[in-house]
A = this chain, B = another copy of it.
Amino acid sequence: MVVVMAADATAEDVAHVVERVEALGGKAFVSQGVVRTIIGLVGDIDGFHGLNLRAMRGVAAVHRISDPYKLVSRQHHPERSTVWVGKVGAQVPIGPMTFTFIAGPCAVETPEQTLEAAIMAKAAGATLLRGGAYKPRTSPYAFQGLGRKGLDILAAVGEATGLPVVTEVVDARDVAEVAEQADMLQIGTRNMANFGLLQAVGEAGKPVLLKRGMTATIEEWLMAAEYVAQRGNLDIVLCERGIRTFEPATRNTLDISAVPIAQSASHLPVIVDPSHAAGRRDLVVPLARAAIGVGADGVIVDVHPDPEVALCDGPQALHGSELRALAQAVRQLPPLVGRGPAEAASITPAG
């Protein structure tokens, strides 16, 4: 931690900072510059935060140096992690050795539509099924998902197709119920900073898919993962899904650079959601190929047997020729960047 004193700070101001740091058992190294004095702090960083250094007289700025996240940081866990999803014996990996393809309908509407979408997804190479039963919608007048009934449909379709199920949970009060039926719990972009919900999924005993808040920095995203991890659950997969910028041509701007940055800051796997980032079907395949190129550990996409009648996000759901193009990309490109397919049998969990 580095404290930068203001140009007009007095010797007393400097002494005051040093004194308080030392009172906490820390060490303060003072370097007197021509214009300003800087003080380097060594010791209990979290304790120093309690000092509220920024508010002290004569302090111009405080620069934190260490990562604010611990459990998810790669600093103390240099090897990248693999997260396993599904029932024992048929677990699907998400991690550095494989490229995992997750697909399914944005919203579960009917048993038929869900089964059809799952079959499409599996045929295209997907090894995990996504589907929304609880939908967070900006309008209280929009379709909010089938809830409990949607969970039942998803579980049955997962069973029928042999695909483990990923579904979103939007309320801490629903976590136990969703965790009973789903194989992986998704935290959506609007809930990335819903700390009560993060803690609840941290205690639920199922892997977590944590989408980046559409306006969260990468550091805040990793702090959100830390909330989950701190409750004892390190089976977390990060998902980049676009950030809010001034560009109106896409719903959000896919921050493709966030993938290698998050992978180098954290040991957690990082996947990409090209469907929700762009909000446009014609961009899903190119962006999925970009995700493979940049080194993502997987993609998650919307598919729908009949996008024209979809109750949610139809304009971005794949089908037909686009889905075939994506299937081909997912088959051909990952081996060129050193990855195998993510099927249950392809690699096996350690231990």
Binding site for B on A (CB under 8 A): 2, 4, 7, 29, 31-36, 38, 40-43, 46, 49-50, 52, 54-57, 61, 63, 65-66, 68-70, 75, 136-143, 170-173, 190-191, 193-196, 213-215, 217-220, 223-224, 226-227, 230, 243-250, 253-261, 264, 277-278, 282-283, 286-287, 289-295, 307-311, 314-315, 317, 332-333, 336-337
Contacts and interface: CB of A to CB of B under 8 A. Distances in A.
Contacts of A258: 247, 249
Given A247-B255, A287-B294, A314 B54 contact: yes
A166 to B, nearest CB: 20
A261 to B, nearest CB: 5
Given A29-B31, A42-B32, A264 B246 contact: no
B33 A40 contact: yes
Number of copies: 4
B277 A257 contact: yes
B194 A194 contact: yes
A55 B286 contact: no
A28 to B, nearest CB: 9
Given A137-B195, A255-B247, A314-B52, A35 B4 contact: no
Given A194-B190, A290-B290, A246 B243 contact: yes
A253 B170 CA distance: 29
Given A31-B31, A173-B173, A332-B336, 9 more contacts: A4-B63, A31-B40, A31-B42, A49-B142, A139-B223, A170-B195, A260-B283, A286-B294, A289-B294
24 contacts: A29-B40, A31-B31, A31-B42, A34-B42, A36-B65, A36-B66, A38-B65, A40-B40, A50-B143, A52-B307, A52-B308, A52-B315, A68-B141, A70-B141, A171-B196, A217-B248, A218-B249, A244-B246, A245-B245, A254-B256, A256-B290, A257-B286, A289-B337, A291-B293
Given A223-B138, A223-B139, A315-B55, A250 B246 contact: no
Nearest to A188: B193
B65 A217 contact: no
Contacts of A336: 332-333, 336
A2 B282 contact: no
Contacts of A337: 289
B217 A196 contact: no
Nearest to A250: B257
A264 B290 contact: no
Contacts of A264: 282
Contacts of A254: 256-257
A260 B171 CA distance: 34
Nearest to A170: B196
Given A256-B290, A257-B250, A172 B172 contact: yes
A35 B315 CA distance: 23
A201 B247 CA distance: 27
Nearest to A259: B286
B259 A2 contact: no
A243 B253 contact: yes
Contacts of A65: 4, 33, 35-36, 38, 61
Pick from A38, A142, A191, A315 the residue with the most CB of B within 10 Å. A38
Contacts of A259: 286
A292 B248 CA distance: 24
